[in-house]
Amino acid sequence: MSAVTHVQIHPTKPPTELPDTNSDLFHSIMSGETPLQLSAALQERIEEGQVKVLAELTKGRKLRGENVGIIPLGTGGSLPTRYRNVLSTLAKIPGYGNILLDAGEGTWGQMARSFGIDQDVPGNAWEVLRDLKCIFVSHIHGDHHLGLASILSKRRQVC
């Protein structure tokens, strides 16, 4: 299958190309035929960020983020397995805190297995929760948010 293709399932017919072939907005960008067009506001923000980064680098300062950790807590999509939990990713940012991207069911259990729950051990799951600054839920499918209630409940215990 490819873009701008129409497939009729019932009654069965062979695939046909849609009459409006200009509806494919991605392949020309991916192939380099058409440059990606950014909005003026986005382009302005990118340039502001580049100026700030350059200013910090010229001062000899190290930028935050050099030791950022991205920890996949679940990569099994919507179908967890014995070894792969449903979707969840933790970004640990030294000097700032942690960001949880999606919170699939079982995220707390995965955090407890990954970091341990012994409060005498530095970097345990309770510390990860205490340093949680943001939880980002990408969309409303259950495999992206069903673990949110337990995460918030456990976090309430430490804050």
Report the catalytic residues.
Answer: 143
- Report the residue count for the chain: 159
Residue 48 amino acid letter:
E
* Burial annotation 3-29 (CB, 10 A radius, 16+ → b, else e): eeeeeeeeeeeeeeeeeeeeeeeeeee
Residue 116: both structure tokens together: 């341990």
Q: Which helix (H) or strand (E) holds 93?
A: strand 88-93
The CA distance from 18 to 54, in Å, is: 48
